[in-house]
Chain A
Amino acid sequence: MRGIRRVFLAVFTIWLVATLTFVVVERAPGDVFYLMAQEIAQARGISIEVAYAQVRSMIGYDPTRPLWDRYWEWLGGLLRGNLGFSYFYRISVNQILFQALPWTVFVLSVALLLSFGIGVMLGLVIAVRRRTWLDPLITGYASLTDATPDYLTALLLLILFALNLKWFPSKGAYDSSLTPGFNLPFLLSVFHHATLPILAYTLENLGAWALAMKGSAVSVLGEDFIAFARARGLKERRILTHYVGRNAILPLVTGLALGFGGMFGGSVLIETVFHYPGIGWFFKFALDHRDYGMMRGLLILTTVAIVTANLITDLVYPWLDPRIRMEG
């Protein structure tokens, strides 16, 4: 029963977002083709009037069809997995996704796992050793990163490591002179280019994970079964990893799952700063060209991903955490 309700809510959420974005994009102002005409005029050496006529005849977009028809077509397309049409590229948003998604997923999953892994370890340590120098250090670090919006972190890394020290490239996903494929120079180049974006995410989120883990671990430490385990004379190390760690990490798993869902949206700001060709970068591109079709498609993709991640966590979590299963 609970499962069915969750699924219904998820579908409803997606429908509502799809409908609202449809309405918003239909309200989009002005003439989306003018920018294109300006570009063509200057690239082909023709007057803007001629370029504009060329664009209009090329696009074949017909705004005179009734709103309802277009709405149903749009919803029908979504049901078949078609996220709509990019005004600028004149292809379906799915095809753009196909290119952009791997980069975003690569960088974000590495960064998410890194920051989660390191953060959880640090959090566990400071939960147990509360009076060492490490605790204030990490708390201070967490405050500092909390105070620094992710795009500023990214910008600082860019200026320091890419533009001044030149240790890492400042843009792109790989060196353009290499042939993409499964060969060593290309893979190395991919890692080299991904380092700064990964670092930006990791540095930004590390502190928050550590604090979350600390909070969770502290409350677990106070529970009876820990005292019981200690009383049984188990080794402190074993208690830490097997009892405290395992139980304290459970509440964080939800956050991790949401992180994975959220990553499909990429980060517009970080990917823009590094010119990293993921979903977020395409969102900025769509913004610059006022490509509302693409923005709409990407927004829906993000929504679907997060809603799905939410749903899966909701449904799976009880199996992970026996306490909730009992209550549920």
Chain B
Amino acid sequence: MSRRFGLPTVGFFGLAALALALGACAPAPTPTPPTPVVIEKEVTPTAAPRPREFVLGTGWEVPPAYHGNPFAPGGVGGAWWFVFQPLLIYIPATGEALPSLAESFQEAPDRITFRLRQTGWSDGTPFTSKDVWASFVLMRLMWNWPGEVDRVETPDDRTAVIVWKQPLANPKALLSSAPILVNTKAYGKFAEEAAQWLGRTGPEAEEALNKVRQEVSNFKPEKPIAIGPYQVESVSASEMILTKNPHHYAAGQIAIDRIRFLRWTSNEVMWAFHLAGELDASHAAAPKDVADQILQRQPKTRLHLVTDLSEFALLFNLRKAPFNDVRFRRALAYLIDRDKVREVAYFAGLTSAPYSHGVLKSFEERWLGKDFLASLTAYNPDPAKAEALLTEMGWRKGPDGKWRDPSGRTPEFEILAQAGATDWVLAAEAIATQLNGQGFQVRARAVEPGVYPTTLRGGQFDMAIQFGSAWWGTAHPHTGYYRLYQGEAAEFTGAKDLMKTAKGPQGEEVDVAQALDRLLKEPDPERQKAIVRQLAWITNENLPALSLLEKRLMIFHVDGVRVTGWPAENDPLWTVAPGAIERFYAHLLIQGILKPAP
């Protein structure tokens, strides 16, 4: 507690203490004028030494909705990555994987064989390969995920083999985001039942599967059964407390006794927690000045920026003129100063300029290389080039400085953004302002979050701010291009139907869906790069969306108050954080990297 007590506080505490003392009818001697020191003493009567704890912010369901079944609504909450643990941890920055719940693993083109650790669940049962099998069966039953897994083989208790349907480009990243969730003791019966029917079709199978799904959803243990380093001790509306899982293999090595989660309701609440020094780490996105305030007021706080594996982009509606003309999209790319957009919308981001090739900025050298990058069109702000493209399309600038389309009209455009997502709204506003200053009539409009995806999917927009290439889950360009050409973003822009084929770097005709499929199944890194370059070329030259910035997490972390030992600034471990930041914290604790501060 570093809070300074002001005079009124003293008076307040004095009065309150007096009132309570009187109420208790204690035969009190005449109270001496209270001073903060005296009150402090009164307030904490010989407090037991506080457990060595680590204070974080997260979200969870309020009891009594809270329960421990990861597959049923309301389960587990932010404790997820502390009570569950993946077989391995994938580090996006280096592409290597560290064994986690497995002590070692061997890769083959169609499978990974894991040697499991000797560790235990918090209910005392030992960890076996059957638990791995049950977890994957239930994930497939309840989430229909991960579709890449064909089956899990269990040759013996300590060996689990995950067999893919086909060779995969980056299978380790996938497994890194699929922790082991359930043991056979509690969930085995559901898994057995589901396994009989999974893969079969027809009404009978459908009915049987729905019945199991219902049973799983209705199973609500009070707390999660943990395989990870911590177990849930107590949950209330304002905090959730985890203590060590005594059966965990690293229990002796972990020096932090408990995790205390404060409720993360909104970023500004997290800022206030940081400003008051009550929090050890969070990734609450903050404007620069707020970040400066936090670092200044709590000098032991540090800020680390690490990729979120996603980017913000300006999506174009390819179904609609003039956005269906690539020249128009490129003209806009020359008119928008993307670094200025980053400054106001998300200063911690990495601007994507001058390219828009669908590979995240911090990965572009690794995947594309300097030489290839130089062969791409660079969209630096350049009004002259934009003007040339527009003129070529038949557009003319009128005497009022406004652009007129070939029919002589001055069209009005809208940039949509999701209401409440301030960074997106600010980006939309910044782009609109820039374009308005260059002869267009553009308005930014915020749309209700519930309606936003349906509006975009229905094609009722001109331009919109959304995630562009996002690599969550796999940390691989395939996921990003899938999103741009097949997934959600493609449904928004219309690229799913309108960009089935495109010209590659050598003028060759590329079937985008086929290229994606080849990329997914290609285990050889060099051949993967060739396909990625083809797709990067297509994306950069055709611009189904204009990448604005790579989103970076702002990880505020306090060193030397309650915990110490954070990784160094350039440690690739930080890149475990995106997508699941608690997985990163948990890994640091298991490895004994994070220790109690002296």
A residues with CB within 8 A of B:
28-32, 34-35, 39, 41-50, 53-54, 57-60, 89-91, 95-96, 99, 165-174, 176-177, 180, 184-185, 187-188, 191-192, 195, 275, 277, 285, 288, 290
Name B16's contact: one of A35, A180, A188 (CB within 8 Å): A188
* Cβ contacts B265-281/A at 8 Å (1 or 0 each): 11001001000101000
Name A46's contact: one of B59, B145, B272, B452 (CB within 8 Å): B145
Cβ–Cβ contact B236 & A49, under 8 A: no
**Which residue of B is nearest A48, CB measured?**
B488
Cβ–Cβ contact B579 & A89, under 8 A: no
Given contacts A47-B483, A168-B9, A192-B12, contact A275 B143 (CB under 8 A): no
Given contacts A30-B454, A176-B278, A191-B16, contact A44 B580 (CB under 8 A): yes
Cβ–Cβ contact A285 & B487, under 8 A: no
Most buried by B among A47, A54, A188: A47
The 7 closest A-B pairs by CB, nearest first: A45-B579, A30-B450, A30-B451, A91-B65, A45-B177, A45-B580, A167-B6
Between-chain CB contacts (< 8 Å), 30 pairs: A30-B451, A30-B454, A39-B59, A41-B472, A43-B80, A44-B177, A44-B579, A48-B487, A49-B487, A53-B143, A54-B145, A58-B72, A89-B62, A89-B65, A90-B65, A95-B64, A96-B62, A184-B20, A184-B42, A185-B44, A188-B16, A191-B12, A191-B16, A192-B9, A192-B13, A195-B12, A275-B269, A277-B237, A288-B266, A290-B448
B479 within 8 A of A: yes
Name B213's contact: one of A29, A57, A169, A180 (CB within 8 Å): A57
* Cβ contacts B400-428/A at 8 Å (1 or 0 each): 00000000000000000000100000000
Chain A contacts for B472, CB-based, 8 A: 41-42, 45-47
Chain A nearest CB, measured from B62 CB (Å)? 6
B444 within 8 A of A: no
Cβ–Cβ contact A188 & B237, under 8 A: no
Bound CA span A15–B261, Å? 41
B73 within 8 A of A: yes
Cβ–Cβ contact A47 & B470, under 8 A: yes
B residues with CB within 8 A of A:
3-4, 6, 8-9, 12-13, 16-17, 20, 42-44, 59, 61-62, 64-65, 71-74, 78, 80, 142-145, 176-177, 213, 217, 236-239, 260, 262, 265-266, 269, 272, 276, 278, 308, 420, 448-454, 467, 470, 472-473, 479, 483, 487-488, 578-580, 583
Bound CA span A59–B177, Å? 22
Bound CA span A166–B72, Å? 43
Chain A contacts for B13, CB-based, 8 A: 188, 192
Bound CA span A31–B583, Å? 30
Cβ–Cβ contact A50 & B145, under 8 A: yes
Cβ–Cβ contact B143 & A89, under 8 A: no
Chain B contacts for A187, CB-based, 8 A: 16, 20
Chain A nearest CB, measured from B458 CB (Å)? 11
Given contacts A44-B580, A91-B62, A188-B16, contact A50 B43 (CB under 8 A): no
**Which residue of A is nearest B21, CB measured?**
A184
Given contacts A45-B578, A172-B238, A173-B238, contact A288 B420 (CB under 8 A): yes
Name A57's contact: one of B17, B143, B479 (CB within 8 Å): B143
Bound CA span A176–B263, Å? 10
Chain A contacts for B177, CB-based, 8 A: 44-46
Name A167's contact: one of B9, B17, B420, B467 (CB within 8 Å): B9
Cβ–Cβ contact A166 & B4, under 8 A: yes
Name A43's contact: one of B8, B20, B452, B580 (CB within 8 Å): B580
Given contacts A44-B580, A46-B472, contact A28 B450 (CB under 8 A): yes
Given contacts A43-B78, A165-B6, A184-B43, contact A50 B65 (CB under 8 A): no
Name A171's contact: one of B143, B236, B269 (CB within 8 Å): B269
Name A30's contact: one of B217, B276, B448 (CB within 8 Å): B448
Bound CA span A49–B62, Å? 26
Chain B nearest CB, measured from A75 CB (Å)? 24
Chain A nearest CB, measured from B149 CB (Å)? 13
Cβ–Cβ contact A34 & B450, under 8 A: yes
Chain A contacts for B237, CB-based, 8 A: 99, 277
Cβ–Cβ contact A29 & B448, under 8 A: yes
Cβ–Cβ contact B80 & A34, under 8 A: no
Chain A contacts for B9, CB-based, 8 A: 167-168, 192
Bound CA span A33–B542, Å? 33
Cβ–Cβ contact B450 & A35, under 8 A: yes
**Which residue of A is nearest B78, CB measured?**
A43
Most buried by A among B20, B65, B142, B467: B65
**Which residue of A is nearest B479, CB measured?**
A47
Chain B contacts for A177, CB-based, 8 A: 260, 278
Chain A contacts for B42, CB-based, 8 A: 184
**Which residue of A is nearest B15, CB measured?**
A191
Bound CA span A192–B488, Å? 48
Cβ–Cβ contact B488 & A185, under 8 A: no
Cβ–Cβ contact B73 & A180, under 8 A: no
Chain A nearest CB, measured from B454 CB (Å)? 5
Given pairs A165-B6, A176-B238, A275-B265, 16 additional interface contacts (CB within 8 A): A28-B450, A30-B450, A35-B450, A42-B579, A43-B80, A44-B80, A45-B579, A47-B473, A49-B487, A57-B142, A58-B73, A60-B217, A170-B276, A191-B12, A285-B265, A288-B266
Name A45's contact: one of B72, B73, B239, B473 (CB within 8 Å): B473
